[in-house]
Structure 1
Amino acid sequence: MRTRFTELFGVEHPVVQGGMQWVGRAPLVAAVANAGGLGFITALTQPTPEDLRAEIRRARELTDSPFGVNLTILPTITPPPYHEYRQVIIDEGVPFVETAGANPVDHLPHFHDAGIKVIHKCTSVRHGLKAQALGVDALSIDGFECAGHPGEDDVPGLILIPAAADAIEIPFIASGGFGDGRGLAAALALGAEGINMGTRFMATVESGIHQNVKDRLVAASERDTDLIFRQLRNTARVASNAISREVVEKLNAGAKFEDVRDLVAGKRGAVVYETGDLDHGIWSAGLVQALITDIPTCAELIGRIVRDAEEIITGRLAGIVRAA
C-alpha cells in the first residue's frame, strides 16, 4: 500500500505504533520497524535524557529500518527537562518525532532545523488546523475510542476522520479504535493515510509488558474501560479495574484531584506492566481491546492487517461495486 504517509516517512506499510508510556521501548519499536511499520520510542518512559539516548541506540542494534521518538508535552508542576530530551533526539539523528499533549510550537523549529519530520497528535479538527498552520509535517487524529486522553469533545473516529479529511491538507493518520485490516480499510476510505495503534501493539509478543496484561486485553470487551477525570476536564480512558472505579466514584462524589493523586500515580501503572497485578494502578486501554483475540508477533500482526485490508478493498468491496 502506498499513501502520502508512507511516501513522506519512507515506510512500507501505513501502520504506526504510537508513543505509549511504559510500553514504547526499543524491542517493540524495532519489531514494528522490521515489519515495515513505523514505531516510536516513548521519550518520557526513560528516566533521564541519557537513558533515552541509550534506548535509541538499543533500538538501532535491533533494526536498520527507520523509527521515531514520541515526546509528550504535558503541563505539570515539575515538568521534565523537555529541551534536554529534545536535544538527545536531535543529537542521535532520529528522523521522526511524534509530539502530543500541549502545543509543540517551542520544539518545532529545533526539530525542523535538524531535518526531523514531526507528527502531532490531535483530538479535534480545530487543533489539527492549528498544528498544520504551525508547520507540522503530518497529524495523528485521535478519536474518542482511543486509550489515554481523547480530549473533551467526545467525537468518535467515524465522524472525526472524514471531518479532518475535509479540512486538513497535510497527510494524517487515524488513531483510536484500530486493530485489524477492517480498520485500516475503513480509515483509508474515510480519508486518512494510515492508522496509528497503541492498545493493539500492547498485545504482541515483542511488547515488554507482563503476560497478565496481554491476556486481559484478549479477554476484555469494549465495555471494559473507564473514563476518569471527566469532572476535571482532563479525561483519560483506562482499563477498568478496582482503582479506576474508585477514582470515578470519588470524583463523582465531589473529590478533588489531590484526593485521588496517589491512586493515579504513574509509577503505580508502571508496576501493573511489570508485575501483572492488574489492580495495582491505572493503566491505559482503548475500546479496540474488544477486537483483540490473540498475541501475535508484530510482523504477523502488521502483515495480517495489510493483507486483510487489501482483500477488503480489492475483493469484497470491489465485488459489491461490480454487482451493482
Structure 2
Amino acid sequence: MKTEVTRLLGIDYPIVQGGMQWVGLAELASAVSNAGGLGILTALTQPTPEDLAREIQRCRGMTDRPFGVNLTMLPAVTPPPYERYLDVIIDSGITIVETAGNSPRAFVERMKAHGIRILHKCTSVRHALSAERAGVDIISIDGFECAGHPGEDDIPGLVLIPAAVRALKIPVIASGGIADGRGMAAALALGAQGVNMGTRFLCTREAPVHDAIKQALVAAGERDTNLILRSLRNTARVFKNAVSDEVVALERRPGGTVFEEVRPLVAGQRGRAALESGDAQAGVVSAGMVIGLIDDIPTCDELIRRMVAECRTHLRRALAMAEE
C-alpha cells in the first residue's frame, strides 16, 4: 500500500505502532517492522539514555527494517534528561522519531540536521498546525477514543481526522479507535495517509506484557474504559478496573481531589507492575475504547496482513457502492 507515509518512512504498509510506556520494547517494535509496519521503541521506558542505546542495538539485532523511537516530553517537577535521550537517538543513527506531549520545536532543528523524519502526535488541530510550523514531517492526530492522553477538547476521530487533513499541508496519520481493516479504510477515506495503533498492538503475541492483561482487554467491551484525572485537566483514558474506579470516585467527591491524593493510585511503576504480574486490577492500564473491537491475540504479522486485506476489501466495497 503506497501512501505519503510509506514513502517518507520506507515501510510497506501505512501502519505505525504507538509508542507505549512500558510496552514499546524491542520484541514488539521489531515484530511490527518485520511485518511491514513501523515499530516504535519508547525512550522513557528505558531508565537511562544508556539503556535506550542498548535497547536500540537489541532491536537492530531483531530487524533490518526501519523502526523509530518515541520521545514524549511532558511537564514534570524533575523532567527526564531529554537532551541526553536525543543524543543517544542521534548517535545510534535512528532516522525516525515520534514526538508527543510538549511541542518538539526546541529539538526539531537538531533532528533535521541529522536527517531524522519527525512524527508528532497531538490531540487538536491547533497543536498540529503549531507542530507543522515547527517543521515536523507527519502529524499523528489522536482522537478522543484513544488510550492514554486524549487532551481536553473531546473531539472524536470522525471529526478530528478530516479537520486535521483539511488544515494541514503535511501528511496525517489517524490515531485512536482503530483496530482492524474497517477502521483503516475509514481513516484513509477521511484523508489520512496511515494509521497509528497502540491498544491493538498491546493485544498481540509479541507485546511484552502478561497474557492475563491481554485476555482482560479482549474480554472487555467498548464501555470498559475510564477517563481519569479529568478534574486536574490531565485526562487519561485507561482500562476500567478497581484502581481507575477509585480515582474516578475521588474526583467526583464534593470538593474533588488533588494530585497528591491520587498519585499512589496512578503511579507509573504500579501500572508497570500490573502489566508484568498479569493482575489487571492492580494498577492503571492504558487502554482505548477500541478494546470493544478486539477479540483475539494474533502475531503482529497476522494482524497487519489481515488488516491490509480487510482494508482493501472495505475500500473496494465502498467504491462499488459509489459506482452503482
TM-score range, shorter chain: over 0.9
Distance in 2 between the 1:312 and 1:259 partners?
48
1:6-26 Cα offsets, whole Å, 9 max, x none, are 111111001000100000000
TM-score calculated relative to the size of structure 1 = 0.98
Deviations 1:8-46 (A, max 9, x none): 111100100010000000010000000000011000000
What secondary structure does 1:78 align onto? coil
Q: Which letter does structure 2 place at the counterpart of 1:278? A: A
Map 1:114-153 → 2, pairs under 5 A? 114-153=114-153
Unaligned runs of 5+ in 2: none
Paired residues, number: 322
How far the C-alpha of 1:279 sits from its partner, in A, is: 1.4
Determine helix, strand or coil for the equivalent of 1:263. helix
Residue 286 of structure 2 corresponds to 284
Which residue in 2 is equivalent to 1:252?
Answer: 252
Matched residue, 1:164: 164
Q: Which runs of 5+ in 1 are unaligned?
A: none
Question: For residues 311 and 255 of structure 1, what CA distance do their matches in structure 2 show?
Answer: 49
2 CA distance for matches of 1:306 and 1:180?
Answer: 9
Cα separation, 1, equivalents of 2:103 and 2:125: 14
Once the two structures are TM-superposed, the CA of residue 64 in structure 1 deviates from its matched residue by: 0.4
> Residue 302 of structure 2 corresponds to which residue in structure 1?
300
Superimposed CA distance per residue, residues 270-321 of structure 1 (whole angstroms, 9 cap, x where no aligned partner): 001100111111110000100101000000000000011011112x112212
Counterpart for residue 88 of structure 2: 88
The separation in 2 between residues aligned to 1:50 and 1:74, in whole angstroms, is 21
- Say which SS state the counterpart of residue 132 (structure 2) adopts: helix
User: 2: CA distance between counterparts of 1:99 and 1:135?
Assistant: 12
How far apart, CA to CA, are the structure 2 residues paired with 1:90 and 1:161? 31
Percent of residue pairs identical: 60
State the shift of 1:251 in Å. Answer: 1.5
> Displacement, 1:212?
0.6
- The equivalent of 2:188 in structure 1 is 188
Q: 1:318 & 1:99 partners in 2: Cα distance?
A: 35
Matching residue's letter, 1:197:
M
2: CA distance, partners of 1:120 / 1:255? 32
Match of 2:8 in 1: 8
Counterpart check, 1:321 vs 2:317: no
After superposition, what is the alpha-carbon deviation per residue over 1:39-67, rounded to whole angstroms, capped at 9, x for unaligned?
A: 11000000110110010000000000010
1:295 match: secondary structure: coil
Pairing 1:312–2:322 present: no
- TM-score for both structures, normalised by structure 2: 0.98
User: Pairwise CA RMSD of aligned residues?
Assistant: 0.7
1:226 aligns to what SS in structure 2? strand
- Number of the residue aligned with 2:102: 102
Letter in 1 for 2:195: I
* 1:110 CA drift (Å): 1.4
SS at match of 1:16: strand
Whichever residue aligns with residue 231 of structure 1, its letter is S
1:92 deviates by 0.2
Alpha-carbon distance in 2 for matches of 1:106, 1:216? 40
CA distance, structure 1, for counterparts of residue 50 and residue 91 of structure 2: 11
Instruction: Please list every run of at least 4 consecutive aligned residues from structure 1 whose deviation after the TM superposition is greater than 3 angstroms.
Output: none
In the TM superposition, what is the alpha-carbon distance from 1:107 to its structure 2 partner?
Answer: 1.3
Alpha-carbon distance in 2 for matches of 1:212, 1:28: 17
Aligned position for 1:29: 29
Distance 2:18 2:202 in 1: 11
CA distance in 2: counterparts of 1:19 and 1:292, whole angstroms: 19
CA distance in 2, matches of 1:59, 1:31: 10
Once the two structures are superposed, what CA deviation does each residue of 1:192-231 show, in whole Å capped at 9, x if it has no partner? Answer: 0010000000000100100011001110100000000110
1:112 alignment partner in structure 2? 112
**Corresponding residue of 2:238:** 238
DSSP-derived class of the 1:99 partner: strand
